[in-house]
Amino acid sequence: MNVIEIISTLTEIQARSDRMRRQGKTIVLVPTMGFLHEGHLSLMREGKSHGNDLVVSIFVNPAQFGPGEDLETYPRDLDRDLDLVRKEGVDAVFVPDVHEIYGDRFQTYVELEKLPNHLCGNSRPVFFKGIATVVAKLFNIVKPHVAVFGQKDYQQLVIIRQMVRDLNFDITVIGSPTVREPDGLAMSSRNTYLTPGQRVSALSLCQSLINAQALLESGVRDAAEIIDSATDRIRSHPDTEIDYIAVCDPETLVDVKTIDRPVRMALAVKVGKARLIDNMLLKP
Ligand code: AMP
């Protein structure tokens, strides 16, 4: 196992990044909130192929949690996370505390005008403002050449790409495929909230997406019909409460009515205490 640098201060990580850049290294950043699983590890493996200095950040970002959400109970296990990243050949882990990131009197936020007005943004009003802000800060702090994000959080990926273009960050954003459990459930730190019964209900998310592609292949083009079918499927499982099911343009996230080109189907469902999301590219 390689020696890994564990850094919790801004000055140290900034000095380290400056040193790496002077040495001609290509810095790759994988931002996470910790409680790592195979999905996160796949981003690290992807990251390795885009550079030669791999930095993982672990930071549960309060700015992206709304009142009544699970900030306090969000699962955390730093020792386990560090064991996992060591095995992936990560060069440095950045684990700041909240004060290190937000300091005193923090008041400057990054907010996008349109992309957050869809999908998860409707029920989580501060979510993407919190994410765009913390990711912009991490970009300025860690100064990566490349950053890797999961397609699992599709709206987040689209928003980060837009922010990078709009604010001229000199960073290449890589979107990495969703890693799933053998039965199809998208891996998520929040899956630990599920009871065994809810774990079965949670499968209805990915099954609805797979079924949507099958409907499309059987000739259905009406997005409403596909959404209705997914709604029925999910509602037939106990402990599920649908937040949204959408069929949208992959870039603007605007709803699509007739599917005559590739679209993103995305959904968010509360299963017991866990708010789960999933998405898939649907191709007619
Ligand atoms: P999180 O710790 O939930 O903030 O996620 C950190 C990064 O891991 C984000 O870019 C997520 O999109 C990505 N990620 C989370 N779950 C998965 C998954 N199942 N497959 C691929 N990437 C994932």
User: Tens digit of pLDDT for each residue in 168-187?
Assistant: 999 999 999 999 999 999 99
Estimate the crossing angle of helix 10-22 against helix 127-142, to 10 degrees.
Answer: 50
Half-sphere exposure of residue 14, counting CA atoms within 13 Å on the CB side? 10
Task: Return d(Cα 60, Cα 97) in angstroms, integer.
Answer: 9
CB 21 within 8 A of CB 2: no
- Protein residue whose Cα sits closest to atom 11 of ligand 1: 150
C-alpha 203, offset from chain centre:
19
Average pLDDT over residues 127-131: 98
Q: Which of 37, 40, 118, 145 is catalytic?
A: 40
- Kindly tell me the sign of the dihedral angle through the C-alpha atoms of 208, 211, 213, 218: negative
Site to probe by mutation for ligand 1, drawn from 152, 158, 279 as the one with most ligand atoms within 8 Å of Cβ, is 152
pLDDT mean across residues, the chain: 97
- Protein residue whose Cα sits closest to atom 8 of ligand 1: 40
Residue 134: which domain range? 5-176
C-alpha 82, offset from chain centre:
20
The yes-or-no answer on residue 40 being catalytic is yes
Pair 38, 169 in one domain = yes
Residue 249 sits in a domain whose CATH number is: 3.30.1300.10
Pair 47, 144 in one domain = yes
- φ, ψ at 149 (rounded to 5°): -130, 155
User: How many angstroms does the Cα of residue 105 sit away from the middle of ligand 1?
Assistant: 30
Half-sphere exposure of residue 133, counting CA atoms within 13 Å on the CB side? 18
**DSSP strand pairing (274-282 vs 263-271):** antiparallel
Asked if pLDDT for residue 23 goes beyond 80, the answer is yes
Q: Is 182 a domain residue? A: no
186 lines ligand 1 (CB under 6 A): yes
pLDDT of residue 48: 98
Task: Return d(Cα 78, Cα 83) in angstroms, integer.
Answer: 9
DSSP state letters, 1-24: ----EEE--HHHHHHHHHHHHHTT
Count of Cβ atoms closer than 10 Å to residue 127 Cβ = 21
User: How many angstroms does the Cα of residue 218 sit away from the middle of ligand 1?
Assistant: 32
Question: What are the structure tokens assigned to 238, written together?
Answer: 């106990």
Q: What is the pLDDT of residues 213-243, one digit of tens each?
A: 999 999 999 999 999 999 999 999 999 999 9
Pair 159, 263 in one domain = no
pLDDT of residue 9: 98
Pair 141, 70 in one domain = yes
pTM of the model: 0.98
Asked if pLDDT for residue 2 goes beyond 80, the answer is no
190 lines ligand 1 (CB under 6 A): no
Q: Which helix (H) or strand (E) holds 84?
A: helix 78-87
State the chain's maximal CA–CA distance in angstroms.
Answer: 58
Indicate the residue among 148, 176, 204 that finishes a domain.
176
The pLDDT-based confidence of 3 (bands split at 50, 70, 90) is confident
Pair 23, 75 in one domain = yes
- Protein residue whose Cα sits closest to atom 12 of ligand 1: 150
160 lines ligand 1 (CB under 6 A): no
**DSSP strand pairing (263-271 vs 240-248):** antiparallel
- Protein residue whose Cα sits closest to atom 18 of ligand 1: 39
Residues 6+ apart with CB under 8 A from 144: 17, 27, 28, 29, 51, 55, 171
Q: Which of 48, 40, 64, 67 is nearest to 2 (CA)?
A: 48
Residue 163 sits in a domain whose CATH number is: 3.40.50.620
Average pLDDT over residues 62-86: 97
Half-sphere exposure of residue 73, counting CA atoms within 13 Å on the CB side? 9
Asked if pLDDT for residue 150 goes beyond 70, the answer is yes
- Protein residue whose Cα sits closest to atom 14 of ligand 1: 150
pLDDT of residue 1: 56
Residue 179 CA: nearest ligand 1 atom is: 20
- Total tally of structural domains belonging to the chain: 2
Cα angle for residues 246, 150, 97 (degrees, 5° grid): 115
Question: What are the structure tokens assigned to 62, written together?
Answer: 């309060």
Cα angle for residues 193, 198, 203 (degrees, 5° grid): 105
User: How many angstroms does the Cα of residue 43 sit away from the middle of ligand 1?
Assistant: 8
Average pLDDT over residues 23-38: 98
